[in-house]
Amino acid sequence: MAKAVWRGGALLAPVPPALVTCGTMEEPNVLTVAWTGIVCTHPAMTYVSVRPQRHSYGIIERTGEFVINLPTSAMAKTVDFCGMKTGAKLNKIERCHLELLPGETVSAPVLADCPVSLECRVTEAKPLGTHTMFLAEITAVQVEERLIDSKGKLNLQQAGLLAYAHGEYFAIGRKCGDFGFSVRKKRR
Amino acid sequence: MAKAVWRGGALLAPVPPALVTCGTMEEPNVLTVAWTGIVCTHPAMTYVSVRPQRHSYGIIERTGEFVINLPTSAMAKTVDFCGMKTGAKLNKIERCHLELLPGETVSAPVLADCPVSLECRVTEAKPLGTHTMFLAEITAVQVEERLIDSKGKLNLQQAGLLAYAHGEYFAIGRKCGDFGFSVRKKRR
């Protein structure tokens, strides 16, 4: 297939448009961050990259904590809104009617409506250009109980997570396979 | 909703199960990496986190280059296979009938069948535990021409990209909105 060559750009997809909470239960804030990912399995580590101009930047820098909350496709409008508006001028948590739960291992709150939340403690702030990468250890994971089956397995497909791809939000679609399916022997 | 609290784990989703190519056109290799993300917009930077035991690890470390190729949902079996098998024992590119194209800015090849490819040059290798994070600048992006409309806009939805979430592969589903839709004024 014919290809066009563009100069370097941030064109990776799909990525999770995470609702990142920071601060405390009393003084919380939330912002949307698509520049996130897993960087290590053991210890479990992630990052969020945030512009220093963002209101949450100073809070995360000061407290060294944040929570990555994975939103559902039903929350797309809230996700977009929390990326467009600043907590310096507006209480986004009240405005979006977001219910907070306490973190288990961090002072930053967890969003009750998100099926999965990763509690994170910053290990390093790395300035890269427009964004600073906050590398962090994942100290706990909160998961909606209704997604856990009787064997203790998490059924994330039922969560209906939201995806972000190059300026557009999408629901997760049909399942294409399980990890390892390409090499698994078929049962007779 | 009731929550279960687990210890920290690498539970972020959806993420791109990228086919990462490295080496050269003559001696290429490919492996699947879901631990990737954008870390900075300007300069455009990304990373891949790779276990030092992987065959591609030494190649990326030595050449300082790799290409992140975003696969379609039709490529799910190839994506899974290239994550399960090692290039030390098998020529995965031949076995999966992957067609290579030359990179514009790197010696590592680009996968013809992937609608989007990010050419990357390593800026830092950061050991974190099981995985080493290769931070990299995105030096060029190759995009399938059929996805670019007459205004030069990339329509990534048509690409049918594959997503990975907690051990399962998914197609991208229905669109839930455009970036900024929550605050855009409606036309009368």
The burial class, CB within 10 Å (0-12 / 13-18 / 19+), for A49 is buried
Chain A within 8 Å of B124 (Cβ-Cβ)?
no
Tokens 């030595």 correspond to: B62
Q: Where are the domains of chain B?
A: 18-171
Q: Are A104 and A113 in contact (CB under 8 A)?
A: no
To the nearest whole Å, the CA of A151 is away from the closest chain B CA by: 14
Pick out chain B residues at pLDDT < 50: none
pLDDT cut 90: percent of chain B above it: 96
**Given an 8 Å threshold on Cβ–Cβ distance, is A39 in contact with B35?**
yes
Q: Which helix (H) or strand (E) holds B82?
A: helix B76-84
Mean pLDDT for all residues in chain B: 96
**Given an 8 Å threshold on Cβ–Cβ distance, is B174 in contact with A170?**
yes
pLDDT at residue A174, rounded to an integer: 96
The pLDDT tens digits for B89-139 are 999 999 999 999 999 999 999 999 999 999 999 999 999 999 999 999 999
Tell me the chain A residues in contact with residue B116 when contact means C-beta distances shorter than 8 Å.
11, 13
Instruction: Give phi and psi for A132, each to the nearest 5.
Output: -105, 130
Rounded-to-integer distance, Cα A69 and Cα A98, Å: 12
Q: Which residue of A has its CA nearest to B101?
A: A3
pLDDT at residue B188, rounded to an integer: 58
Rounded-to-integer distance, Cα A52 and Cα B116, Å: 29
Average pLDDT rounded to a whole number, residues A70-97: 95
**Given an 8 Å threshold on Cβ–Cβ distance, is B131 in contact with A39?**
yes
Average pLDDT rounded to a whole number, residues A13-34: 98
pLDDT at residue B185, rounded to an integer: 80
Chain B within 8 Å of A176 (Cβ-Cβ)?
yes
Q: Which CATH superfamily is domain A18-171 in?
A: Electron Transport, Fmn-binding Protein; Chain A (2.30.110.10)
> How close are the terminal C-alpha atoms of chain A, in Å?
39
pLDDT at residue A33, rounded to an integer: 98
User: ipTM score here?
Assistant: 0.96
Tell me the chain B residues in contact with residue A10 when contact means C-beta distances shorter than 8 Å.
38, 40-41, 44, 46, 138
**Given an 8 Å threshold on Cβ–Cβ distance, is B12 in contact with A38?**
yes
Rounded-to-integer distance, Cα B112 and Cα B142, Å: 10
Tell me the chain A residues in contact with residue B181 when contact means C-beta distances shorter than 8 Å.
77, 80
Give the number of residues written for chain A.
188
pLDDT at residue B146, rounded to an integer: 95
How far, rounded to the nearest angstrom, does the alpha carbon of residue A111 sit from its chain's CA centroid?
Answer: 11
